[in-house]
Amino acid sequence: MLVLWFLIFLLILFYVRHFIKWKHGPPGPLPLPLVGNLVQLIMMGTQPHLAIARLSKKYGDIFRLQIGTQDFVFASSIEALVNLYTRDEALGRDVYGTLLDRSAGQNTGIIMAVGETWEINRKWTFKTLNRLGLRKGSGIEDSINEQCDFVVKSCETALSTRGTGWVAIDVSPMFLIPVTKVVFRLVMGDRIDDADNGAALEKLIYLSEEMAKSTSLGAGLDAAFPFLRFIVPKLTGRNVQMKCYTSIRDAAQKLLDAIRLEQKSSSLNDDPKSLAHLYIQEMDNDPSSALFSDFHFGSLYMDLLQAASDTTNSYLQCLILFSVTQRSCQEKIYEEIVNIIGTCNRATLEHRRLMPYTESFMLETHRHSKIVPTLLPHKITKEFTIGKYIIPQDTQILADIHSVNFDERIWKNPMEFDPTRFLDTDGSVSKEKRKLCVPFGVGRRACPGESVAEWTAFIFLVNIIRSFMLAVVPGENPPMTEMHVGITSGPHPFKVAISRREIN
């Protein structure tokens, strides 16, 4: 009986604390002790991002959920998203679970770092990428074209081998290696051409895929109950993730040591070719720096390569998917290619501003695919008020991108795929509508790899459609346009029938 009364006391205490904390906060369903609102989400019988979208219909554009032991506030409209994600009080990150283990408990890198460490790393990274030519694209365009040529030639070879008018290509493995090479060269320079480093890159890709598989379930458990990673490390994916983290760090260290040795015996210091070269210079200039070290470089290496490669790979798959399922859109893109570029010329980044329909197709693909369905969480570092709600300190913010991207108040017939919704009456891309699509986040915490992803996607898409017609494989059903959803989203595995275009 005493135990029962004690449990009742704990239950009352839980709800008293809950009501005091959220008395002036956003509305939301009543949580249960320990599990929070997980039971409600599971009982809704749908994918988590769709369950969250349904809750937004009931509770509004800003609402709260408790997932396990963690408090979250969701932004379900573009206005709420921008207002919450750009607040100075909302620029923190809650590094928990395996993410904390990944950095050995240190505040490191750029994606998960906080405070002064994040500020310095972010500023240095953007400055360095711009120095390497990222601002205008000049420093990376050749690399993108080289990898795009590899994809096009691979398709040409498959067609020649087949000996018929078309060939079925599996899209799932089509882009990951080429786009990773683009980012790898930016970070590590031309070392990719060395056989040993090519093998290291393939190992990085393999490890990244293994990590993604291990987090399909583990990420949710890790976020809700961080302590579970020690109790059931296999279920949460901790064993695989820690093995992969260690291997990737070891590979980064090996590459960094090789570049350091090169710099001592060459003139690379006068004309650095990569982010790694400039990072070594920074360490040499201030050997006692607590922020520039081999360990911190390993974190930056993982952040840039994994984040940029995974999202760009998924985005390119989505662009091919909708090119196949929306054949009229594909032909309009080809018509724009013929008019602006010509059939014998290669697309360049300069062409992008001259091709509004292609740009609008890319934006509409972002809107439908929701590649990062919740964006990365922001942590509230100081209590603040938004509208009539007080958001408590230490709460995490997540974006309900499904509700944002299919908001009937903004998008007419939102379930339809219609690139023209992003065009003004004069045929140009609407600046206002462009602002409503935020696949890489907003504000100072936005993804640093956005430019690389967009440039890579544009050049690949245009050069592929310039060279080939993309269609549903004869005798098969059209591929599913519904995404499989995890930390990042992407198409279910599918094949596309490609055939050479007739060039007049």
pLDDT value, residue 344: 77
pLDDT value, residue 268: 53
Higher pLDDT, 31 or 163: 31
Q: What are phi and psi of 70, to 5 degrees?
A: -105, 135
Task: Evaluate the CA torsion angle 433, 436, 440, 444 in order and state its sign.
Answer: positive
pLDDT value, residue 187: 87
Q: How many CB atoms lie within 10 A of CB 14?
A: 14
488 by DSSP, 3-state: which?
coil
Greatest mean pLDDT among 183-187, 250-254, 266-270, 367-371 lies in: 367-371
How many residues in the chain?
504
In terms of C-beta density within 10 A (0-12 exposed, 13-18 middle, 19 or more buried), how is residue 67 classed? buried
Q: At CA 190, angle to CA 188 and CA 192, rounded to 5?
A: 80
Q: Are 455 and 144 in contact (CB under 8 A)?
A: yes
The tens digit of pLDDT for each residue in 419-465 reads 999 999 999 999 999 999 999 999 999 887 888 899 999 999 999 99
pLDDT value, residue 100: 61
Least confidently predicted of 118-132, 308-322, 392-406, 433-447: 118-132
For residues 266 and 9, give the distance between their C-alpha atoms in angstroms, rounded to a whole number. 71
Q: Are 163 and 364 in contact (CB under 8 A)?
A: no
Helices within 225-326 (DSSP H only) = 228-231, 233-236, 238-264, 275-285, 294-325
| 277 beta partners | none
Counting Cα atoms < 13 Å in the Cβ hemisphere of 460 gives: 29
pLDDT value, residue 167: 95
The tens digit of pLDDT for each residue in 7-22 reads 888 888 888 899 999 9
Q: Are 384 and 391 in contact (CB under 8 A)?
A: yes
In this structure, which topology does domain 91-375+406-500 adopt according to CATH?
A: Cytochrome p450 (1.10.630)
Q: How many CB atoms lie within 10 A of CB 500?
A: 13
Least confidently predicted of 2-6, 167-171, 293-297: 2-6
For residues 295 and 484, give the distance between their C-alpha atoms in angstroms, rounded to a whole number. 34
For residues 171 and 179, give the distance between their C-alpha atoms in angstroms, rounded to a whole number. 14
Q: Is the pLDDT assigned to residue 274 strictly greater than 80? A: yes
pLDDT value, residue 368: 96
Q: Is the pLDDT assigned to residue 136 strictly greater than 80? A: no
For the chain, give percent helix, strand, coil, nearest 5: 55, 10, 35
pLDDT value, residue 33: 92
Q: How many CB atoms lie within 10 A of CB 10?
A: 10
Q: What are phi and psi of 7, to 5 degrees?
A: -65, -40
Banded model confidence at residue 233, pLDDT cuts 50, 70, 90: low
pTM: 0.91
Q: Is the pLDDT assigned to residue 138 strictly greater than 60? A: no
Q: Is the pLDDT assigned to residue 114 strictly greater than 90? A: no
pLDDT value, residue 503: 67
Task: Evaluate the CA torsion angle 379, 383, 384, 385 in order and state its sign.
Answer: positive
For residues 162 and 181, give the distance between their C-alpha atoms in angstroms, rounded to a whole number. 28
pLDDT value, residue 242: 79
Least confidently predicted of 290-294, 324-328, 364-368, 446-450: 446-450
Q: How confident is the model over 482-498, as a mean pLDDT?
A: 89
Banded model confidence at residue 175, pLDDT cuts 50, 70, 90: very high
pLDDT value, residue 60: 96
Q: At CA 244, angle to CA 175 and CA 202, rounded to 5?
A: 35
Q: Are 142 and 190 in contact (CB under 8 A)?
A: no
Q: Is the pLDDT assigned to residue 494 strictly greater than 90? A: yes
Q: Is the pLDDT assigned to residue 395 strictly greater than 90? A: yes
Cα–Cα distances in angstroms (integers) from residue 191 to residues 5, 37, 183, 283, in the given order: 67, 49, 12, 20
Q: Are 298 and 252 in contact (CB under 8 A)?
A: yes
Q: Is 148 annotated as a binding residue?
A: no
Q: How many CB atoms lie within 10 A of CB 368?
A: 21
Residue 219: name the closest of 367, 374, 90 by CA. 374
Q: Is the pLDDT assigned to residue 410 strictly greater than 80? A: yes
44 by DSSP, 3-state: which?
coil
Q: Is the pLDDT assigned to residue 496 strictly greater than 80? A: yes
Q: How confident is the model over 189-210, as a mean pLDDT?
A: 66
DSSP string, 304-359: HHHHHHHHHHHHHHHHHHHHHH-HHHHHHHHHHHHHHT-SSS---GGGGGG-HHHH
Higher pLDDT, 127 or 133: 127
pLDDT value, residue 195: 46
Least confidently predicted of 52-61, 293-302, 417-426, 456-465: 293-302
Q: How confident is the model over 233-250, as a mean pLDDT?
A: 76
- Both tokens of residue 485? 């959803």
